[in-house]
Amino acid sequence: MRVINFSAGPSNLPDEVLKEAQENLFDYHQKGFSIMEVSHRGKIFEEVHFEAMKLAKQLYEVNDDYEILFFQGGASLQFAMIPMNLSLGGISEFANTGVWTKKAIKEAQILKVNTQIVASSEDSGFDHIPNFKFSDDVDYAYICSNNTIYGTQYNNYPITKSPLIVDASSDFFSKKLDFSNIAMLFGGVQKNAGISGLACAFIRKDMIERSKSKNIPSMLKYSVYVENDSMFNTPATFAIYMFNLEMKWLLNQGGLDKINEQNIQKAKFLYEIIDQSEGFYQGYAKKEDRSLMNVSFNIADKNLESKFLQEAEENGMIGLKGHKILGGIRASIYNSIDLKKVQILGEFMKDFAKKNA
């Protein structure tokens, strides 16, 4: 019996994806070996690898102005690779909306990049997305599209003439995006598109050009990844296989518009229960910036928190404890959590409020 898993990441995977992986784990499509056991240079794995890239680009409808790259080292390694590869020695601008942007800023500062914070919501505990405008002529402008801990999300990305870089780790492949305004979109895939061990980025070719002339170790250099189809060394083959299955699953669901529709419905359902609880539950993020992915809230009576978590678990629901920075409750309702599962949580929440008000 599988529980309903609201973990923030690594997180729930679609049943279909897990079952297919299980079926093929021991004997990959009757070939007599596991996909984990063969060379990344062989035809069998290469098919998986290039198909994963193709399907990912297809889902986002990304054109050939962009390269898709696979990395290890998580989204966090990109916090360092971005300044290494894309800084031109000028200014890099950041919107500071939480822990993940702070970490990205810190890495850029370690690398002696001139970092400017154009806006921050830190004073109010990162409970909203600030209003701001990036300069037109900086090396790059950086945002985090969905703030996993606080449950805030950009409704629309800022329009900017400077190259826009987006950490989309926690809303990756959750909706279509207008790439005409994006220079680089990246994320670890373990939240919404696969398992840990793989980070993925879409990078516009003029950004790749920047890295070419720079003196950077090979494994840290974007152009080396492009020249080697992200196989300069051994890639995370099993994580790429799982990502491939996840891309197929998303296509089978009807693609990103369809997934987005479901994501909107799911989030609406939970936020309505919070808002109609007469103060029993209190949403963390400002309403206009609420995340469709991570629903962070408190129980007004903090003493009830552990009881809530325990009873949720007794009812087959896990992963609801808020991030340690924030406390409270967080329900991560990524792509693979369907409306039915969210409704079960919602009914539990209503029932819990009624019994404990």
Ligand X SMILES: *Cc1c(COP(=O)(O)O)cnc(C)c1O
Q: Select the residue interacting with ligand X from 34, 76, 116, 343 (CB under 6 A).
A: 76
Question: Which residue is associated with the tokens 């890639």?
Answer: 235
Tell me: is residue 75 an annotated ligand-binding position. Answer: yes
Catalytic pick among 127, 139, 171, 191: 191
Nearer to ligand X, 129 or 353 (CB): 129
Residues 144-173 interacting with ligand X (rule: CB under 6 A): 144, 148, 167, 169-170
CB of 28 to ligand X, least distance (A): 27
CB of 157 to ligand X, least distance (A): 14
> Which is it for the CA torsion 107, 109, 110, 111, positive or negative?
positive
The identity of residue 116, as a single letter, is Q
By rule CB under 6 A, what string of x and - marks binding of each residue 172-211 to ligand X? ----------------x--x-------x------------
The secondary structure of 246-304 as a DSSP string is HHHHHHHTTHHHHHHHHHHHHHHHHHHHHHTSTTSEEESS-GGGB-SSEEEEEESSGGG
Q: Among residues 247, 146, 165, which one has the least CA distance to residue 204?
A: 165
Q: Select the residue interacting with ligand X from 13, 17, 75, 200 (CB under 6 A).
A: 75
Tell me: is residue 156 an annotated ligand-binding position. Answer: no
128's tokens: 């909203």
Q: Select the residue interacting with ligand X from 3, 34, 44, 74 (CB under 6 A).
A: 74
Q: Which stretch binds ligand X (CB under 6 A): 25-33, 69-77, 264-272, 279-287?
A: 69-77
Strand blocks (E) in the chain:
4-5, 66-71, 91-96, 114-120, 140-144, 146-147, 152-153, 164-167, 184-188, 199-204, 281-283, 294-299, 317-318, 329-332
Tell me: is residue 296 an annotated ligand-binding position. Answer: no
> Which is it for the CA torsion 22, 27, 28, 30, positive or negative?
negative
Q: 167 catalytic, yes or no?
A: yes
- Residues comprising the binding site? 41, 75-76, 100, 148, 167, 190, 233-234
Active site residues: 100, 167, 191
Interface contacts to ligand X, rule CB under 6 A: 9, 74-76, 100, 144, 148, 167, 169-170, 188, 191, 199
